[in-house]
Amino acid sequence: MSRVDVEKTLSQLTLQEKISLIAGASTWRTSAVSRLGIPNLKVSDGPSGARGQIFGENVPAAFLPSGVSLGATWDVELLYELGQLLADECKTKSARVQLAPTMCIHRHPLGGRNFESYSEDPFLTGKLAAAHVRGIQSRGVGATPKHFVANDEETNRFHLNCVIQTRALHEVYLLPFQVVIREADPWCMMTAYNKVNGIHCDMSEHLLTEVARKAWGWDGVFISDWGGTNSTAASINAGLDLEMGGPAAHRTQNKIMKAIEDGTTNVQHIDHSVNRILQLLVKTGRFEDSSDNPEYCGDTPEKREVLFRAASSGAVVLKNERGALPIKPSEQLKRLAIIGPNAQRVVAGGGGSSYINAPYWTSVYGSLQERFAETGTQIDYAVGAKVNRYLPVMSSSVARNPDTGESGGAIDWYLGHDMTGLVQAVTHIQDLYYVSFGNTPAEITEETGFSFRFRTVLTPKTTGKHQLSFASIGPAKLYVDDEILIQLSGEEKGSLFFTYGSDETIIEKDLAAGKEYNITVEVDSHDRQLRTDVVDSMDPMEEKFQGFRLGYQEHDERNLPNEAAGIAQHCDATVVVVGRDKEWETEGQDIPIFELPGEQVELIQQVAAVCKRTIVVVQAGTPVDMSPWIDQVQGVLYTWYQGQELGNSAASIICGEVNPSGRLPITFPKRIQDCPAFSSFPGEQGEIQYSEGLHVGYRWWDLHDTEPLFPVGFGLSYNTFEISDGSLSHSSLLRGGDVVATARVHNRGGCTMPGRQTVIAWCSQKATRRLSRPKKQICGFIKTPPLRVGESCQVQISIDAYSLAMYDPGQAAWVIDKGSQFDILVGPHARDVALVGTIDVLEEISFVHTM
């Protein structure tokens, strides 16, 4: 379908049909107009993989490493390759737009959704995201960079007002999106929930129209975050093309027709949005193929290899003393301890909309055990610490479906609000942290309200006082053997279910090992969306969720850290696997503590005191406080969240099969008080001041000459590298030209495997005149190919005006003043740089978006 055809089709649409196209028809699909052959389009979350339409126990999909781990690769080619993989995955879910990548800035280490995003640095973020978008769209699937803009925390995310100075807004928070538009032209972008300088992003004419459309020349589809449309006329006028998810809340026929009659919006604005949506259907091939096939899992050996390589490339070795790493199976250790709360369980990603049901899972314990299986080494294990933020979800090892005997339980579905009448459907669930969101059985009509009863049989493993916990979205009751133990009104608000639901209520009950107990949960109604008296006070999307969380803790009086130390003292080496998980780091709320949660610090300290070769593996999406224990251990491997290959990738580095090449994309502070946003995060009374201005991340440490624990770019290899012979191709920069920084990277040895090094270029403006600048900022980077011991290569990093310019609010343009001088420094990380030359700017260079 050509552009002429799009214009013709647009002219044939009735006003009512146009209105239907600018709001979703359902949770994951746009509207269709069958009269004119206009198909719908299905979209899918998210940056960790193409989850498909079911939230929770969905059809399995490839689970990618988290965004911060991909940031730690510093590998543009790999991000492109993963984009292609993600597009292919999207097609297995019959979707043509992927809601990825997430590319907000790591402004503060406790940002709840930092794990989804690449870096604290806007240049690195933009370059990696652009490569990812190019990869996705090369396969005919639309990418959706998000969240535009400044969704850098989760506290009060629907209403928070981010007050950002003009230069910081453009040079830090808008810059990654500008880079993506300039280098990849994404077909869609998603607006953020929050306000920027007093106006919700979805209805900001300045951001959507003045900046993105006019200044940057972008003509893709702006999609709201789900429930993130905050008005009818204002969002249409601002340039928001599509309200999602559907059905419409603000863009109903009646509301828009009234707005047109009142003169608060007009058909021309609607035509612009419809045109862009039709163009998206053309780009994604929906007019040629409008099929909506069943979702399936596209697991292949080729995809597994890419995911393993990506996960291995992002893991960062932060400490390695006295050859603690690698622990090679060929050493034939007598005993190896694999200890910690994250050792055996799968901690694949942070929580929220990006979580995936993978086709298979790996754990650090399982993958290490496989590698030592034939060596004669005795493998010892202990959980070592209590770490759960809430009681652990009742596991499949103690809960079974009373109808089928499968692990999990059964749900009986009813029409109406009080479970009267006949059961309409029975489904099985395995995860007892259950969320109903667009995944009700076909027999259930959500518009009329529904209710359900969950049933399972609990068989405890021990005798004694056990703990049960219960939380819900909406009114619910918990029964044990027909005795009601907990009743929730539905009015409670807490930290679970994206903060839509209650906190957990915990009770203690004496239970006997081996005895069967009938557990019943009644979720009384889902009629909140029908109650006009409360729906206006709800957060967006709140009325669309329903669910419960059933927690369970066996009777256990053990001292877990002490027990683990007792095992470790008899071992030649100990791997301690610690960190957070998807209940500590999650969409909907920020991280409550900087420290490792639970008993993990005590665990590390006790083990390190008795085992001379202690390696700590940390699984987390942001830095954790290492000061209490890092000096006591010999090795630290930061693996982030690595998706389905988490165990294999960690084990491959620990065992010396892969030479670690990950480098930090964020600064690790010694103290949380050293962080640039410490004094303002997370704000108060619905507002946050971005008081650090331009000095985000490493720029703040430079400004105050404060030593971080680990600087951005830091990471160890099993080799040592030397960077030398730095030079510049030219000493001056002209408009439209570039200067190439060159250096030689030499692998000086350390192990027999080839290794890779990241080289970062920094610019530091001399004697800034009109506008202040950070002491230095990243203006380029490159990752070497694998280098054998003794081998070297020359790297070239192109530096242009885009990477040197600053935003001048007076001119509303990017500028480099005539006569400006920039020192160019090259090195592996922010605290190890060397001057390679100076660039003189011989003429004033200015541009709005491109030169």
Please identify every residue annotated as catalytic: 225
Rounded CA separation 342/108 (Å)? 24
Spell out the alpha helix ranges (H) of 538-669.
560-568, 600-610, 646-654
Contacts of 847 (CB under 8 A, 6+ apart): 801, 805, 813, 814
Rounded CA separation 759/577 (Å)? 30
Question: Which of 619, 139, 583 minimizes the C-alpha distance to 340?
Answer: 619
Burial 662-692 (b: 16+ CB within 10 A, else e): bbbbbbbbbebebbbbbebbbbeeeebbbeb
Residue type, 186: P
Q: What ranges make up the beta strands (E) of 448-589?
A: 450-458, 464-473, 476-480, 483-488, 505-511, 517-523, 546-553, 573-579
Between 301-314 and 646-654, two packed helices, what is the crossing angle to 10 degrees? 60
Question: Which of 268, 208, 321 minimizes the C-alpha distance to 632?
Answer: 321
Strand order in the sheet with 464-473: 433-436, 546-553, 464-473, 505-511
Q: Say which residue the tokens 């030209």 belong to.
A: 737
And the tokens for 585?
A: 């780091």
And the tokens for 834?
A: 């060397």
Instruction: Evaluate the CA torsion angle 325, 329, 330, 333 in order and state its sign.
Output: positive
CB 696 within 8 A of CB 176: no
Say whether 733 sits in a helix, a strand or coil. Answer: strand
| Angle made by CA atoms 697, 703, 706, in degrees to the nearest 5 | 80
And the tokens for 450?
A: 């529904």
**Alpha-carbon torsion, ordered 313, 319, 324, 330, to 10 deg:** 0
| Angle made by CA atoms 137, 138, 140, in degrees to the nearest 5 | 60
Rounded CA separation 111/591 (Å)? 6
CB 161 within 8 A of CB 197: yes
Contacts of 755 (CB under 8 A, 6+ apart): 659, 661, 717, 718, 719, 721, 747, 786, 787
